[in-house]
Each structure stands twice: as structure tokens, then as C-alpha cells.
Amino acid sequence: MFNRRTLLATASAVVMLGFAPMASAQDDTLDIALISKGFQHQFWQAVNMGAQQAAEELGVNVTFEGPDNESQVDRQIDMLAAALARQPDAIGFAALDSQAATPLLQQAQAAGIPVIAFDSGVDSDIPLGTAATNNLAAAALAADKMAELIGGEGKVALVVHDQTSRTGIERRDGFVNQIEAEYPDIEIVSIQYGGGDHLQSTEITKSILLANPDLKGIFGANEGSAIGVVNGVTELGRDDVVVIGYDSGAAQLDAIRSGTMAGAITQNPVGIGYETVAAAVAAINGEEVPAEIDTGFYYYDASNMDDPEIAAVLYE
Amino acid sequence: MSATTSSSERSLGSLFRSQGAQKLLAFAGLLVLLVGFSVASPNFMQTANMITILQAASINGVLAVSATLIIITGGIDLSVGTGMTFCAVIAGVVLTYLGMPMPVGIVAAIAAGTLSGFLSGVFVAKLKVPPFIATLGMMLILKGLSLVISGTRPIYFNDTPGFTQIATGSIVGTFFPIFPIPNGVVILFLVAGIASFILGRTVLGRYAFALGSNEEALRLSGVNADRWKIAVYSLGGAIMGVAGILIASRLNSAQPALGLGYELDAIAAVVIGGTSLRGGQGTILGTIIGALIMAVLLNGLRILSVAQEWQTVVTGSIIILAVYADMLRRQRAAAAT
């Protein structure tokens, strides 16, 4: 009895002591907590990289956390609550569900902790500014490129990550609206949702291709969807289909280099992280923060992906 | 554990002794964590943060209570996570789409949970599908149905005034403004108390343990084991419905894509609390402490700004450590009898 209790107690104490120094090391530097929509995904790690870059340059301490997947609204709320309890100097937040987060954001406001929104932002007037990509404009650019590559006519389809998140909705609408407004000879035959999951998006792509043998192009609206589209096209040996993706990642970069994918839209995830932290520091210092911080986007393909300006925002 | 003891009195005594020891062990672990984090950060032991922890533990705690009942019968329920979402969606349909009054939505969510638990129970007890498979199937069915019924959109409860108060309001706070424990936490303790009473004081509880330790003996003694097993699964489902209301109220919305993976957190809380996956033993108090340990651990690591990837590693290590410590205790207890 005594032995087991000591075992557990000792082990816990060891764990505790291990972390104790980390807590005391950050007494006088500014403490900024970033709560993102995801974590392991390469895109979020690129946002984290930009945030850490800014942290180093500006001499502040930045933590970065996000739930395992973009459906875990309650987990994100727990993270935000714990971050608030830490009493940081500023918070960066990318809401999965703005409404669910409102009470905590009000709490932050009451405590005088400035909030900067990033990526898909927050539907609320509490954040001082939002560092994000203009998804509608970015997806419209993808539509223009698609039209150009298929010769302005024929059937196209979309594989989107989901129909509930703001990025999913805006990228879909940005693409669809642009096609409907500018290219009357292009028909959108199918819009399907694969949760950003590689395998699911692959199966969806194959079923779209089998149902529409004369399909000319597919737009994959995020990294996972785009890779799924590439897989589906490859598995069916349909190298005549024009594939346009979104974001980067090693698999997508390879597909563009090898020609399976025509090109992709890249946001500037490093910039999103960097600008969020920079805006947070500005807010702490009482400076004015612009409401919309456009972090930019590019269309890249095999011809320009190695340009320094583009290569800097692509991630493996 | 009591099969080899000579008198029923002794077996009862050893039951109490080992359960008491388990509570002590888990409780000691929880205390160590609380003290350790308090020493490590002044922001940890604050009233607001304690409430944050309790609130973070409440939904997982209710799910874990549901999972404990099933695990005691020697089964497992993988459907509690997506089932919770299903119940939340049902509440959303009834309250927001159909515009019914709040109590109807609450009853509908609990009824939906009970029904899904009942179905799992029928699959397991009557069709003899192994619990792992039956509830794996239910997990996917309920996930799919949540998406279908909700039209894959979150359903908000803005038209139901007071709905968010179910989990986030604080009746306790109106009497004791110093420590405004959210209603969701009170509901967790109520559910735990009721489940504990059922397990310890009713026929259903006695048969649940008997199903887990020796189902064959129960059958041979003339008990309709299938019916009782279905009853336990149904009760677990009803509790899952309560979790569905809590999460819907906390988020002021039913999020149809949420829930996958939550069953594993619930099972983790159960095993940290000393309930054996083999069935036949376990306590609700242990499970509650298990859920609290998980919530304290995550919250504390976050307050200490520990990188997220390491939070996960630490949580995993604690699960193994807790179960290992419990196994050592069991071996010792077995050797002593």
C-alpha cells in the first residue's frame, strides 16, 4: 500500500518538478497565448512558426495550442479558459465557433487582456483586429486560373473540407461565384465534402470522376482535400484533369512539381502567425491595431514555386 | 476477487478494503497534482481556475459515469462520444427547429440517449454481438445520424432563453457568491450520486457487478441476465443524454461533427479511477476522481505553458502509471486473501 502510493506520488512530483522551472522563467517577458483551430496539421505548425519568429524578434513569450481537429469546439473553449487563467498579456484566437467563445472573450475584455483574432477570425467586436487571408478573393483567383487552364468551358467539380466552417464556406462560394459570374460556359457539376481527410477526399474524387467522365477540372479547397483529389486522379489514371489545390505541404508541392497538380493557392500561414503576434504586442503597448490585417495569398505553380517570395510562405 | 474467500463476510470486508484503497490511491494522485501545480504557478490555485477545471471535467465526467456502468458489466461503450452529440442534436431539433419548450427538449435528448443505449444493449445481449463491435457500430450510426438530422450545420439555441444556464449558470453562486460552481458541475455530481446509489443499493447495481464478474453464474441462478444487461446499457444511454444536454448548453449549440474520440477520454477517466476493463468491479467515486485528474493535469500543464505535444505525452504516461499502480495493488490484495 505504502509502496504504491509513494510510487505514484514520486512520479507525479518528478513530473511537476520538471515543469516548475519553465513556469518561473517567464516572469518579466510579455506572455501571449495563441489558441488556434488546429495543431498537428502542417498549416497550423507554419502559423506557429511565424508566431515564434515574431516572438523571438520582439522578445516576447508565445504559446500555441489548438484542438486535435476542427470539430472539437468544447476542447478549444477549455484551452481558452486555461489560457485566461494564466493571465497572459494578450490573446490570439481563431474561433471554431464564435458564439461559444463569447463569454470567455468578454471575460478577457473585462480583464483588460487585448484579443487579436487570426485565420478565420471571430464573429464579435471584442478582437481589436483580425489577421487573415481573404478566402473569397483567394478562391476567386483559383477559379480564374481553372478557367484559363481548361479553356473557359466544360465541367468542373469541387472537393471542399466542410460546409460549416467559415473557410469551407468562403472558399466554396468564392470559387462558385466567380465561375457563375465570369464564365457562363463552365458548369459546376458537383460540390462534395471530405472533412479535409485524405482518404475520404480520394474516394469522393474517384466517384465524381466515375460519374462525370468528361470532367475537366477539380478544385481541392484545403490541403487534405487537394491531396485527396490528386490521389483520386492518379488512381484512376486521369492525368488529363486539371487539379488546383489550396495551401501547401510536401505532398502537394510534389504533385505540382510532377505535373499531377496544375497549381495551388497559398495563404501566408507564416505571415498569419507573425502578424498576430506583432498586432498583439502593438495592442499591449497601446498602439492602434487595424481591424483587417490582410496577410496575403498567392497562386503558385511549377514555374514560380521556387521564387524566393513564394518559397518563403510554402511549407513542407 | 471474492471467489476464493471462504465466508461472505470476509469477501465483503475485502471488497470495502480494496475499494477504499483505490479511492485513496487516486485521491492521493489528485492531491499531488493540485499541490504540485499550485507550487509551480500562482495562477493555478485561483477560484476562477478551479471553476474552469470543474467545468472542463463535467462533460467528460458524465460520459465517464455512463462508461463505468457498462464497463462494470464487462462490456464497453464506444458510442458515448458521438451518442452525446446525437442527443445534443435531438435537443436542437426539438427546441430550435420545432420550437418546443425547454423541458421537452431535455426529455427528448435523454430519451434519445436511452433508446440508443437500449439498442446497444439488445445488440450485445440478444444478438450476442461483442460489445466492442456493437458499440463501434452505434458510434458510427449516431455520428452519421447527427449529421443527417442537423443537415451538417450547427444548431443554435438562441430561441430558447435560459438554455445556456443549464450548464453555465450557477444556482450555487446565487447562495455562495464566493464560489459560483456552474450548474453543469452540480449536474455531474447529481448524476454521479444517482449512479453510485444505483450501483450500491439496488438490484440493478448488484446484477451489473454480477454480469461483469460471472455472467454464467448469474444465468444459472435463474436471473434473466439479458434483460438486466439491456437495462444497464439503457441507463448508460440516459446518462449520455444528460451529457448531450450539458455540451449543447455549454456551447449554446449542437455541433454535429463533434464527439469522435471523446469516448476514449471517458474510458481513460474510468480506468484512472480504478475500474477494471475486465468488469465486475469499479466505483463511481473513482471515475469522478479520474475525470478530475485528467482535467487538472491538462489545465495545470496549460497554465505552466507546457507545449501541447508534451501535454499529450504526460497525459498518456499518467494513464499507464495509474493503471499500473492499481494493478500492483490488486496483486497485493489477491496475495493477501
pLDDT in tens, B174-211: 888 888 899 999 999 999 999 999 999 999 999 999 99
What's the average model confidence in pLDDT over A231-236? 90
Q: What percent of chain A has pLDDT over 70?
A: 91
**Residue B261 at interface with chain A, using a CB cutoff of 8 Å:** yes
Cross-chain residue pair A19–B301, CB shorter than 8 Å: yes
Helix (H, G, I), strand (E, B) or coil at B58: helix
Q: Is the pLDDT of residue A253 over 50?
A: yes
Among chain A residues, the shortest Cα distance to B36 is held by A16
Among chain A residues, the shortest Cα distance to B27 is held by A5
Among chain B residues, the shortest Cα distance to A164 is held by B153
CATH number at residue B104: 1.10.3470
What's the average model confidence in pLDDT over A67-83? 90
Question: Which of B154, B258, B302 is the closest to A72 by Cβ?
Answer: B258
pTM above threshold 0.90: no
Domain tally for chain B? 1
User: Closest Cα partner for B61 from B293, B248, B232?
Assistant: B293
Question: Which of A8, A12, A22 is the closest to B306 by Cβ?
Answer: A22
Q: Is the pLDDT of residue B279 over 70?
A: yes
Classify residue B336: in a domain, yes or no.
Answer: no
pLDDT of residue B69: 97
Residues of A in contact with B180 (CB under 8 A): none
Q: Which of residues 1 through 30 in chain B touch A, CB cutoff 8 A?
A: 21, 24-25, 28-29
A164 Cα to chain B: minimum distance (Å):
6
Q: Is the pLDDT of residue B24 over 60?
A: yes
Q: Are B303 and A88 in contact (CB under 8 A)?
A: no
Q: Is the pLDDT of residue A214 over 50?
A: yes
The superfamily (CATH) of domain A135-267 is Response regulator (3.40.50.2300)
Residues of B in contact with A1 (CB under 8 A): 21, 329, 332
Please report the ipTM that was assigned to this predicted complex: 0.74
Cross-chain residue pair A8–B322, CB shorter than 8 Å: yes
A191 Cα to chain B: minimum distance (Å):
15
Q: Is the pLDDT of residue A225 over 70?
A: yes
Cross-chain residue pair B332–A1, CB shorter than 8 Å: yes
What are the cell numbers at B49? 481556475
Burial A63-81 (b: 16+ CB within 10 A, else e): bbbbbebbbbbbbbbbbbb
pLDDT of residue B20: 59
Least-confidence region, from A118-127, B16-25, B144-153, B301-310: B16-25
What is the extent of the structural domain holding B147?
23-327
A247 Cα to chain B: minimum distance (Å):
23
Q: Is the pLDDT of residue A299 over 70?
A: yes
**Residue B328 at interface with chain A, using a CB cutoff of 8 Å:** yes
DSSP A8-28: HHHHHHHHHHHHHHHHHTTSS
Q: Is the pLDDT of residue A21 over 70?
A: no
pLDDT of residue B19: 56
pLDDT in tens, A33-69: 999 998 887 889 889 999 999 999 999 999 999 998 8
pLDDT in tens, B280-337: 989 999 999 999 999 999 999 988 888 888 988 999 998 898 888 878 877 887 787 6
pLDDT in tens, B73-106: 999 999 999 999 999 999 999 999 999 999 999 9
User: Closest Cα partner for A58 from A29, A83, A99?
Assistant: A29
**Residue B190 at interface with chain A, using a CB cutoff of 8 Å:** no
- The C-alpha atoms of residue B36 and residue A13 are separated, in whole angstroms, by 7
**pLDDT band at residue A24 using 50, 70 and 90 as cut-offs:** very low
Question: Which of B24, B43, B260 is the closest to A86 by Cβ?
Answer: B43
pLDDT of residue B7: 41
All structural domains of chain A with their residue ranges:
2-133+270-296, 135-267
A163 Cα to chain B: minimum distance (Å):
7
Classify residue B7: in a domain, yes or no.
Answer: no
Positive or negative torsion for Cα B149, B154, B159, B161: positive
Residues of A in contact with B261 (CB under 8 A): 68, 72
pLDDT of residue B137: 97
Hey, how many other C-beta atoms are within 10 angstroms of the C-beta on A197? 16
Residues of A in contact with B303 (CB under 8 A): 23, 82, 85-86
Q: Which of A29, A73, A162, A172 to mutate to test the interface with B (most CBs of B within 10 A)?
A: A73
Q: Do A135-267 and A2-133+270-296 fall under one CATH topology?
A: yes
User: Closest Cα partner for A198 from A225, A172, A220?
Assistant: A225
The domain made up of A2-133+270-296 is a member of CATH 3.40.50.2300:
yes
Mean pLDDT in chain A?
A: 88
User: Closest Cα partner for B58 from B251, B253, B288?
Assistant: B288
Residues of A in contact with B327 (CB under 8 A): none
B227 Cα to chain A: minimum distance (Å):
36
What are the cell numbers at A312? 518563403
Cross-chain residue pair B302–A164, CB shorter than 8 Å: no
Burial A276-295 (b: 16+ CB within 10 A, else e): bbbbbbbbbeeeebeeebeb
